[in-house]
Structure 1
Amino acid sequence: MTKCKACEDGFYLYDELVVVNDTYYHKDCVSLYPKSYVAFLGDAFLGETENEDGQAAYEVLHEDDLLED
């Protein structure tokens, strides 16, 4: 049975876990600090972003670059 490296408890089906360097931890056992995210297109690495949820096109692009409704 796989156990949390921090607390040594096993994982239930719906536990949230964090994988760090192939080591498993309960999400509540570690502190997470959002630094950046990486973006992939299929298997191709695109780069890092700090924008996990995306943002509205009007916030980034010039009005001339947007499609009209």
Structure 2
Amino acid sequence: KINKGGQLSMKESGEKDKNECHGGDSRFMAMTLKRGRKKKALEYLLKKEESTVKAMVDLKKKYA
């Protein structure tokens, strides 16, 4: 399952979280980092698998 952000979704169960409904993890991270909520962003990163984390780190660099 791939969301609009081009990232593989980590939810295999088919349940949709609130972020996926709005363009997925990458957009969530961009919004979070733009708002300066770095602690929350980092906690979110820690929950993700490594392949997704790499994509998020790229976003962090872009919006830092």
**TM-score (norm. length: structure 2):** 0.24
Higher strand share: 1
The structure with more radius of gyration: 1
Instruction: Give the helix-richer structure, 1 or 2.
Output: 2
